[in-house]
Structure 1
């Protein structure tokens, strides 16, 4: 299992201690920590949700930051580190746990944490989600806490937007799907898309939308505005599959505001790889992603130091 960032602190110091006064590359330290915890090859490279960095690299990076702020390590040059006298002292007692609680004894670390904690969020409601995850004794990194808070907020929004979508009129639901599909790049123009979706109930399909502006490829659509618990059955899937064959259609999209039964999913998988199922959860996520029924309120940019900028 990938260690949390506080668990990385002691092996970080141990990796530096082995080299004495010589500098150690950050990558060598990360590899040493991975060996210390006997991580598998998959765990060593498992990415963050962003895909831009591995979880291990990210957590070791936060351990490095906190150790440096507490004065236990120093960085003579980019991505190279040495252990300080304070760091050596911390390793005198093998059983000593080195974590945020231990680092609090150093004024530099306390000043750093106090500075971080004085930054106020725009909304107290957002802070209510975030604050429990960034306490000193928590094992997740600050950016992991931010991602968790983002997921919590978005999950709540998705549930709210789905409930509202289930209660709109049929005409409003049709327009909602038009707006979503256009935002996703289908249909070319709203006029063309609206015309296509207007062919309601045409031999088992609710609409046809162009996959490209010229209409070279088309997608046939079935949409069910169902309440929660009223799930799409395997019979509905077979009916839609028959409609696709009747129209000699190559691609089908089945959208519902509820969900699909297990047998419906199995039936869709067995009958055709041409059919895509979108349940209420997926629909809500797409609406949030493309700002259909929602809007961006605040954008937070996560910054990092540009090491190359400071090279002389």
Structure 2
């Protein structure tokens, strides 16, 4: 008997946390195994990476339920049934799957964003999809899906961090991207009197070329007034370069404004871009495992002829 797929874990997951108390995902894994009467072989089945298949599928069920707003995370590692989740449970559905989750705009928006970025439809292609894809395409889709989940976790963690820590993260990222150079450096400005500037990057030893940084944990949309205020504050540091980074997003008016500025160059980085840059430059993440794909070396065999 094969293990339930990740969608088949969704309804048992909601039921297991229906008591209204926060639960740790590590505890839920074994509780769900008991609820579904899984045998020892099913509980211990491993992926090539060494992770239990059971834990992997329960983890993806949690991700999808959370994206649909059926569960909440009061703090890292804890899961709590939301009001929406309780409402779904009260419908006495036979199953909860992606079709059910598609009712909710947050979930549809997330899936649409994933499609726009070229990511896969789910945590792993189904049998029908696999049949139409090459092995390289299957691996690429899985890679994008995993990165998407890490990016989501990163952004959520950043939103819960302190303002000072978030500023440190931003400056660390910019340094990892090469800003500041070998002889430059960066610093966080004082909490008061910074004129809207949260950090400064000196791209040379004497500070003759300075980049102003604003790093804010905004939840919603950042409009033109915030960006315009930052641009004005750059004059206090005689800077012509600036970066505004947020965990939220920017309005079209804000983008239009920075594109019209004369004499200054300002870059806007939203939450999605921030998370992807952190992954790309290995800030706040660690490599879990590496796969090496090989091809036949025709040169090697040509030498034998």
- TM-score w.r.t. the length of structure 1 is 0.54
| Separation (CA, whole Å) in 1 of partners of 2:249 and 2:136 | 33
Say if 1:225 and 1:137 are closer, same or farther in 2 by CA, change over 3 A.
Answer: closer
Say if 1:268 and 1:146 are closer, same or farther in 2 by CA, change over 3 A.
Answer: same
Counterpart of 2:210 (choices 210, 214, 218) is 218
Conservation of the 8 A alpha-carbon contact between 2:234 and 2:242: yes
Q: How does 1:39-58 map to 2 (within 5 A)?
A: none
Deviation (angstroms), 1:139: 1.6
| Separation (CA, whole Å) in 1 of partners of 2:266 and 2:141 | 33
Match of 1:253 in 2: 243
| Separation (CA, whole Å) in 2 of partners of 1:296 and 1:143 | 21
Q: How does 1:8-47 map to 2 (within 5 A)?
A: none
| Separation (CA, whole Å) in 1 of partners of 2:124 and 2:265 | 45
Match of 1:156 in 2: 149
Matching of residue 198 in structure 1 with residue 189 in structure 2? yes
| Separation (CA, whole Å) in 2 of partners of 1:250 and 1:171 | 24
Deviation (angstroms), 1:304: 1.1
| Separation (CA, whole Å) in 2 of partners of 1:307 and 1:130 | 35
Q: Which runs of 5+ in 1 are unaligned?
A: 1-118
What do you get for the CA RMSD once the two structures are aligned? 3.0
Greater C-alpha Rg: 1
Q: Secondary structure at the match of 1:185?
A: coil
Deviation (angstroms), 1:156: 1.0
Matching of residue 179 in structure 1 with residue 172 in structure 2? yes
Say if 1:182 and 1:213 are closer, same or farther in 2 by CA, change over 3 A.
Answer: farther
Conservation of the 8 A alpha-carbon contact between 2:222 and 2:250: yes
Deviation (angstroms), 1:246: 4.5
Match of 1:299 in 2: 290
| Separation (CA, whole Å) in 1 of partners of 2:123 and 2:149 | 14
Counterpart of 2:48 (choices 109, 121, 129) is 121
Counterpart of 2:159 (choices 166, 170, 185) is 166
Aligned length: 190
CA-to-partner distance for each residue in 1:94-117, whole Å, 9 max, x for gaps?
A: xxxxxxxxxxxxxxxxxxxxxxxx
Deviation (angstroms), 1:212: 4.6
Match of 2:4 in 1: none
